[in-house]
Every structure is written in structure tokens, then in C-alpha cells.
Amino acid sequence: MLAAALTGLLTSLLLIDGLGVNLLLCAVVAAVGAGIAARAAGRRLRAWTLVWSGLALALLAVPALYEAGWPALLSTVWAVGLASLALHGGRRWSGVLLALPGLLWQLVPALGWAREGLRGRGGNVRGRVVPVLKGVGVAAVLLAVFGALFASADAAMADVLGSLVPSLEGGELPARVALFVLGLATALGFAHIAAGPRRWDRTRVRPGRARGRMEWALPLTALNLMFGAFAVVQGVVVLGGGESVLERTGMSRSEYARQGFWQLLVITVLTLVVVAVAKRWAPRGTETDRRLARLLLGALCLLTLVVVASALGRMWFYVDASGLTTLRLWVLAVELWLGVVFMLLIAAGLTPSAGWLPRAVVLSAALAAAGYGLIGPDALVAEQNVARFERTGQIDLRNVRGLSADAVPALDRLPGDYRTCALGVVAADLENAGPTPWYADSLAGARAREILAERPPADRLTGREYACDRVGLRHEFTLGG
């Protein structure tokens, strides 16, 4: 209860200013509470618990390192899901997939669980908690009195205390109360799971009714033939013997390579759905049926890898021609992960038992999310576009003007008006945001403020707008970008 209350207090005091180191601090305190509950329930630490917990902590480091909002949100959601999976456990598809959002179903029951626990322990809790609360109250009074005296006596000490103590404003009270309740409920939810996890592995999912061999195998065979034809065409074009094919399309080789990425991405996702549905309704009465299912589904997965490779190659040519953007980087990461999933499906089809597959798929997704966040997508996009400018003298400033503070070190290398235009939006956003407390800042954000303080892109917003006009980017400049 003390750990949960401290989590709620930290959440209300720190998270209102934004994400940063504070999210990691709140998570560590909540993890301590869950660990205490697990130990009291006699649970043992398992290898997969350490794996999921370590990945969750790695994901929570993303907001402390980088400023971009989308990677921070993705990492936070995945971290919460992996923490729930670490406490629930699970190895079957039902156990793994239902454990990821398991915290959501524990938020309200955990409050009742904590209330009943306090009511049952009555005087024992009062004897332990009341002295602690009294000590905290006395410490707060002493720190407030002596802190005020030290701050008034020394300007440097006042600056240090001002950066350490969160600002409390009356208008923020409803938001802080909501954050306190959220932090308290989240910590109690994790503790409730740790004390008595729901065994989602026991959820039985009935297999689909097996279809007839022809009813099932004929569509898959036709689909394999279509995928095979696509693979042959790709091989002909890539190996240089497809001039006649290109003549019929009316495209150059570079135009052909850059065309159709999004369609191939959709094909990859739809194929994954087809494999899941076909596996559910595949005939399995005899060894011949099971062997035919493995053969057709394995061939489809193998041919899908050709589609994945073709999609990645097309996006590579597109990036080489037009530069990298955050959207292009994101879909590249998704396509790479889908390729890994199909390789795992092929490996599962070649092994006697595929009980490892659910955790392997979730592990690959978590590693992909962690890798995407930890590389700093905005910083990577800016670095690639600036390197391309240094190599060719060409840059599409629309690819970099909407990036976060993570991109500032790379964009700082651009010359003159290019630098002023590229940094205009992020400089305006940082100016509007004002000073950021240490607990809500990131490493990249602090570095960006340092660079822009030393070399501001322009003294006036109109100067930044004219700089974009001079380098050929016509737009309407706004404070929000």
C-alpha cells in the first residue's frame, strides 16, 4: 500500500509536466510494490519473468532518452503490456495475448482488494502506517521551512531547489488528482496480479471445424501459384533479364522498384490472416492431412518472404530517391517484423512441437518496439536526410521540419537558410514550451536546448519563414508547425 501510494504521489507531482525520467521512477516504485505482493504470495521468479521485465524497463528508457511523442507512446504501451505478461505468465496463445492487456481488467478489482486488505488488518495497519505518515508530515514541514530559508539566503541554492521541487498551481489540481488515482490504481493493479494472477492459459479455444481436403487445399494451392508467379517475375526483373517485362509496364527500372510498396505491405498482413484462418480450419484427421497442411502453409509462408523482400527493396529505392521520413521508417520496421514472424512460422512448421511460438512472436514484437524506440526515429530520419544533402546537395525539407528535438544535432549541420528553415518549427515549439524540469526532460531535449541556445536559427519568426522561401519551400509558418 505504501508503494502504491508513493506511485500515485509521484505520478501526480511529476507526470503532469510530461514524460521523461519521471515515468521510469514511477515504474520502479510500482514494481517494488508488485514484488512485495508476489513475495508475500510465495511466487517464485522465473526466467521469462526476467525477460519480460527487462524489456519493459528498456522500453521505459525511451522517453528518458528521446523527445519524440509517437515512439514514447508506443514504448509506454508495450512496457505496460509486458509488465502485465511478466506477472501473469503464459505460454499458449490465449495466455500470452490475453495477459498483455491484463492490467486493464485489474484496475477496479485491485481497489476493492486493497480496501478489504486494509479492513482485515485494521489495527496492525494503523500501527504501521500512522507513524510513517506522521514522520512524512514532520519531514515535509521541516524541509519546507528550512528550504525556504536556504533559498532566500542563497540564489544558487534557490535555483537548485526550484529545479528539484515540482511547481504546484491551483488550476492543475483536478489533473493532479486524476493522475494520483491513475498511479495508485495502476500500482495496485500490478500488485493484485502479482499476488494472484489469472491463469489465462486455462482459457480453452476450440479448434475450428475441419474442412474437406479439396475445400481447404484448392484455394491455398491457387494462392501459392499466384505468389510463385510473383516470385518468378521479381527474380527475372532483379537478375536483369526483365527488359521485356519493363517495356510492357512502361516504367524505368527505378520507377518499377519504387512502385507498389503499400500494396505489398497489405498483401503481407492479409497473408498472415489467411495462414491463421487456414490453420484453424485445416483438415487434421490423418497424417496425410496434417502433412498437406504443413506443406501448403509452409510454401505460402516461404513465398511471402519474397513479397517482404520485394517490399523492403522498393522502399529502399524510394528512400534513396526521396529521403527518409518517420512514416517510411515505421512501415519499414513493421515489414521487417512481419518477415520475422513468417520465419518463425516456418520454423514452427519444421519442429515437432510449436509450443514456443506464441512467446517467440510476442518477444519479436517487443524487441522490434524497443529497437524502434531506442534508435531514436526522428534523429535517424534527420541524420539520413542531412547525410543525403551532404552527398548530393538535395534535401526535401518537408521530411525534417516536423521532427522533434531529437533531430536538432543532425539538422544543426545544415548550412545557412537550410538550417534556419529546418529548425524553425522545433525552435518555436521549445520556445513556447518554456523551461522543462529535469524529471520531465529527456537527454535529447536537453541537448537540443543547448544547441539552440548557442546558435538560434533566427531572432524572429518571420526570419525563419523567409529562410524557407529562399530555399524554395513555400509554406505558411505557424507556431505549432
Q: Which residue has the cell 534557490?
A: 158
pLDDT of res. 252? 56
Determine how many CB atoms are found less than 10 A away from the CB of residue 121.
14
pLDDT at 21 over 50: yes
The answer to whether the beta carbons of residues 15 and 179 sit under 8 Å apart is: yes
Decide which of 409 and 459 is more confident. Answer: 409
Q: pLDDT by residue (tens digit) across 2-20?
A: 888 888 888 888 888 888 8
Q: What is the DSSP letter of 415?
A: -
The answer to whether the beta carbons of residues 72 and 443 sit under 8 Å apart is: no
The answer to whether the beta carbons of residues 190 and 87 sit under 8 Å apart is: yes
Average pLDDT, integer, range 170-183: 81
Q: Give the confidence band of 68 by pLDDT, cuts at 50, 70, 90.
A: confident
Q: What is the distance between the alpha carbons of residues 57 and 104, in angstroms, rounded to a whole number?
A: 19
Tell me which long-range contacts 422-427 makes (C-beta under 8 A, separation of at least 24): 422/397, 423/452, 423/457, 423/464, 424/457, 424/458, 424/461, 424/464, 424/465, 424/467, 424/468, 424/477, 425/401, 425/481, 426/481, 427/452, 427/456, 427/457, 427/458, 427/464
For helices 2-14 and 173-195, the axis angle rounded to 10 degrees is 150
Q: pLDDT by residue (tens digit) across 210-219?
A: 666 677 788 8
The 3-state secondary structure of 166-186, one letter per residue: CCCCHHHHHHHHHHHHHHHHH
Determine how many CB atoms are found less than 10 A away from the CB of residue 288.
10
Determine how many CB atoms are found less than 10 A away from the CB of residue 459.
8
The answer to whether the beta carbons of residues 85 and 362 sit under 8 Å apart is: yes
pLDDT of res. 477? 36
pLDDT of res. 209? 66
Q: pLDDT by residue (tens digit) across 344-357?
A: 999 988 887 778 99
Q: What is the pTM of this model?
A: 0.82
Average pLDDT, integer, range 321-349: 90
Q: Give the confidence band of 254 by pLDDT, cuts at 50, 70, 90.
A: low
Q: What is the distance between the alpha carbons of residues 104 and 77, in angstroms, rounded to a whole number?
A: 12
Least confident interval from 274-278, 305-309, 470-474: 470-474
Determine how many CB atoms are found less than 10 A away from the CB of residue 249.
12
Q: How far is CA 440 from CA 19, 172, 310, 409, 450, in A?
A: 5, 16, 42, 20, 16
User: Looking at the chain, how many residues does it have?
Assistant: 481
Say if residue 306 is exposed, middle or buried (CB neighbours under 10 Å; 0-12, 13-18, 19+).
middle
Q: pLDDT by residue (tens digit) across 376-419?
A: 999 999 999 999 898 888 888 888 888 999 999 999 999 888 88
Torsion sign (Cα): 28, 29, 34, 36: positive
Grid coordinates standing for 139? 519531514
In whole numbers, what is the pLDDT of the chain averaged over residues?
Answer: 82
Tell me which long-range contacts 463-468 makes (C-beta under 8 A, separation of at least 24): 463/420, 464/420, 464/421, 464/423, 464/424, 464/427, 464/428, 465/424, 467/416, 467/417, 467/420, 467/421, 467/424, 468/397, 468/417, 468/420, 468/421, 468/424
Determine how many CB atoms are found less than 10 A away from the CB of residue 104.
12
pLDDT of res. 211? 66
pLDDT of res. 480? 34
Q: pLDDT by residue (tens digit) across 282-300?
A: 776 677 877 888 888 899 9
